[in-house]
Amino acid sequence: MLKTALRLTLILFIFQANAQIATDTLVSVSGKVLSAKDSSLVAANILYEKLPYYDDMGLITSKEDGVFSMPLVKGSSYNISITKPGFIKFDKEILIVGNGSALTQNEDFYLAVDEVELITLENLIFPSGRATISSESYQELDELANWMNENPQIIIQLEGHTDFRGNASANMQLSEARVVAVKEYLMDQKVKKTRIFTRAFGGTQPLSRDDTPEAKALNRRVEVRVIRR
């Protein structure tokens, strides 16, 4: 009985909201979704939500040429959220004012490209053949942890590499142990473990094949791949 009453209340609310929208003046808001990098046109999902009560909302998709159009209530504010794989989520609040007697409004939205960022931990030092982090590395790791704690939406992948010489299986295990050690250090600095992925490459991706101490040191590295900003 209670479920039925709640269902009837919800239906009545939706009916009243739709009835109100029908009597409001609608403005045709149209424009294009473009890449902020090169102004190329983007087909993306656009969610509009009327503020502050979300009593008018909808989801549309801009066309392949980036063009979109949506009828929104004049005099109201809407939150616009745009998503597209490969781009950073876009959010913007707009006021619907209309433009002349035609009741139209033009809005172009630019999406920032979500470019993969790869950072090498230059001062991360491990004793030869071991996964114990040297104290000389703490400052750089603390800076990384502080950056992540100040930007809680960021997700990273720690990628471990060794020099390509030696036993391949042992190198793979060593690179895995080292990225796990870095992950545990960041977790000790209050970074949530769900924001840190790890991957080991062993010696399969050397930066140099020269037989010098400098080249070997270059190959022994941990990189931070920013997979979400």
pLDDT tens figures, 178-192: 999 999 999 999 999
CA 120 to chain centre: 20
- The pLDDT value recorded for residue 116 is 73
As a residue count, the chain comes to 229
Distance CA 135, CA 125 (A): 8
pLDDT of residue 217: 83
Domains belonging to the chain, first-starting first, are 2-111 (2.60.40.10), 117-228 (3.30.1330.60)
Strands (E), 165-207: 196-202
The predicted structure's pLDDT at residue 211? 86
Cα atoms found within 13 Å of the Cα of residue 99, Cβ hemisphere only: 7
| φ, ψ for residue 211, nearest 5 deg | -95, 65
CA gyration radius, the chain = 26
The segments of the chain whose pLDDT lies below 50 read 6, 8, 10, 13-14, 21
- Are 228 and 154 in contact by the 8 Å Cβ rule? The answer is yes
